[in-house]
Amino acid sequence: MNAEPLDWKRIDAAFCAGCVWSAETGSTNDDARVLAVAGAAHGVMVITDAQRAGRGRRGAAWVSPPRRNLLCSVVLRPALPMEKWPRLTHACALAVCETLESIPGLPPPRIKWPNDIYLSGKKVSGILVESAMDARGGFAIAGVGVNLNLTADDFPAGLRDTATSVWLERGGREVSREDFAIHFLRRLRAQSARAEEDFPALLDDCRTRSFLSGKRVRLLSGGQEIEATATGLGPEGELRLLHDDGRVQLITSADLVRPVA
């Protein structure tokens, strides 16, 4: 399998905002944050071949063999009130789905609310959107990891039943990391604009790709364990739950969201 360093100049040449590459780093989100504080523009991508301290929600580690996957973070400066910035997670998830949909031979990608992408019922991508204030008013960092060219042996034994890669889902065919990064950034720019201009339509596109809709789910929210049926998304992308007593509940954030077997 090809394990050459990323041709980051191809990505950089495709976008006026620019691409910052490193052979190895601790966390692309941390690197992007430093650049954003220094004034980096909307759309700047930080990308690496290897990441020592990648993280997901709740501080979970994101482990990736070098030169196999998409490991990147993008600086976003949305023209939205900060309370609306959770929309960016949905924009990023949809951008990942659209990029996967552009690759022949893959099953339909599905969004597991709020920030995971699944293929064939297994996780292929994780998203972490973080925000902060600065002298320009504020910024968000959209961190994305996508399992691209991983074989079954690349996964730890404990993840082989729950995680997958584009390579596995395509029957052992590689995908270009550069092509994937370029397509993803184009879609993220488009979807982050829709988050500002036409969020209801963006949500409709997310609803059609929902992994949880119609499933019985169990989650932790506000320190409470909840079990109910997921029935879609609320007006700001909340998880809509239908309880057994007919009560409808909108969940804005939750941990350990799992379908009930």
Per residue in 128-146, pLDDT tens?
999 998 877 899 999 999 9
Residues 25 and 144 in one domain: yes
Identify whether 89 is part of a domain: yes
- Residue 243 belongs to a domain with what CATH number? 2.30.30.100
User: Using one digit for the tens of pLDDT, what is the confidence trace for 67-124?
Assistant: 999 999 999 999 999 999 999 999 999 999 999 999 999 999 999 999 999 999 999 9
Identify whether 3 is part of a domain: no
- Residue 159 belongs to a domain with what CATH number? 3.30.930.10
3-state helix, strand, coil in the chain (%, to 5): 30, 30, 40
pLDDT exceeds 80 at position 58 = no
Residues 254 and 144 in one domain: no
Q: Determine the Cα angle at 56 with ends 52 and 62, to 5°.
A: 40
Confidence at residue 224, expressed as pLDDT on a 0 to 100 scale:
92
Confidence at residue 16, expressed as pLDDT on a 0 to 100 scale:
74
Q: Where on the phi/psi map is residue 195: left (φ > 0), alpha (ψ -120 to 50), or beta?
A: alpha
Q: Provide CB contacts within 8 A for 256, sequence distance 6+.
A: 218, 219, 220
Residues 80 and 41 in one domain: yes
Identify whether 140 is part of a domain: yes
Residues 231 and 199 in one domain: no
CB neighbourhood size of 207 (10 A): 14
Q: Where on the phi/psi map is residue 246: left (φ > 0), alpha (ψ -120 to 50), or beta?
A: left
Residue 213: pLDDT band by 50, 70, 90 thresholds? very high
How many domains, the chain? 2
User: Using one digit for the tens of pLDDT, what is the confidence trace for 150-195?
Assistant: 999 999 888 889 999 999 999 999 999 999 999 999 999 999 999 9
Confidence at residue 4, expressed as pLDDT on a 0 to 100 scale:
85
CB neighbourhood size of 166 (10 A): 25
Q: Provide the residue range defining the domain that includes 237.
A: 216-259
Residues 138 and 161 in one domain: yes
Identify whether 1 is part of a domain: no
Identify whether 194 is part of a domain: yes
- pLDDT > 70: what percent of the chain? 95
Residues 175 and 245 in one domain: no
Domain boundary among 174, 189, 207: 207
Residues 136 and 245 in one domain: no
Domain boundary among 190, 207, 224: 207
